Amino acid sequence: MNCIKYSILVLMTLLVHLTARGQEPESQDLISATLLENSSMTIIGSSTLHDWEVEATDFSVQFRVPGRWFDSDEDWVGKDIAALNVIVPVDRLDGGKNKMNRDLREALRFEEHPEIQFIWDNISFTGDSDIGKSTDVTGRVTIAGEEREVQFDANLSINEWSQIVATGRVSLNMRDYNIDPPTVLFGVIRTDEEVDLLFELFFGAKGNMGEN
């Protein structure tokens, strides 16, 4: 009986292992790309008084792709991407004024939900662009504890320092995340509920960080 149980356990372990391998991209040279310091992420919006912007002064990105991606973009395909996840600490969002930062953290319910997260679901290449390759990205964004699906266009390219560069714009509506746009002076100045997240991300392969 113990022998039968052991055989079943071995078969189950092998099945799990094979299933997990089947979910991996075909390429076996996957690496975790390094997010470089010149990367930027900015939220821009408007109000009844003026436009405004908030900079993410710190954030992390997990990006796992085949090592050959840093040599050439000729064979890039979406199924090669093993991970693309972003975390932005709310307390690292800086609008340049202390009061604005306090209002932003209160609106985003920072104490209960200290991070904004993006988890990738799928990336497909849709053609060539003036600055690289066009992609269609789908995933899920979590803000103030509310998760919503998002879809946006992005460009991926490789620069002269063999760095992968990702640029794009994501449009978000604060009310979709149950966030009330901040107001000032008893509602006289109102922030528009639509905001855009602009990003320019630079990735280097370990041991080949370039000179950008």
DSSP run (H or E) holding 190: strand 189-190
- Summarised one tens digit per residue, pLDDT across range 148-207 is 999 999 999 999 999 999 999 999 998 999 987 765 543 445 677 789 999 999 999 975
In a domain, 4, yes or no: no
Q: Is residue 10 part of a domain?
A: no
Q: Which residues pair with 186 in a beta bridge?
A: none
Q: What is the pLDDT of residues 72-120, one digit of tens each?
A: 999 899 999 999 999 999 999 998 888 888 888 988 999 999 999 999 9
Please report whether residue 15 resides in a domain: no
CA of residue 49 relative to chain centroid, distance: 30
Alpha-carbon dihedral 59, 65, 71, 76, rounded to 10 degrees: -110
Instruction: Assess if residue 19 is contained within a domain.
Output: no
Residue 42 lies in a domain: yes
Domain count of the fold of the chain? 1
This prediction has a pTM of: 0.80
- Does some domain include residue 16? no
Q: Is residue 141 situated within a structural domain?
A: yes
CB 169 within 8 A of CB 194: no
Distances (CA, A) of 111 to 8, 98, 102: 47, 17, 12
- Residues 6 or more apart from 68 whose CB is under 8 A from it? 27, 29, 75
CA distance 107 to 196: 17
pLDDT tens readout for residues 14-54: 444 444 433 444 445 899 999 999 999 999 988 756 688 89
CATH, residue 118: 2.40.128.110
- Residue 208 token pair: 């080949």
Measured in degrees and rounded to the nearest 5, phi and psi for residue 205 equal -85, 145
Question: Which residues, other chains included, contact 31 with Cβ-Cβ below 8 Å and sequence gap of 6+?
Answer: 64, 65, 66, 67, 205, 206
Query: Is 85 part of any domain?
Result: yes
Question: What is the span of the domain harbouring residue 176?
Answer: 27-204
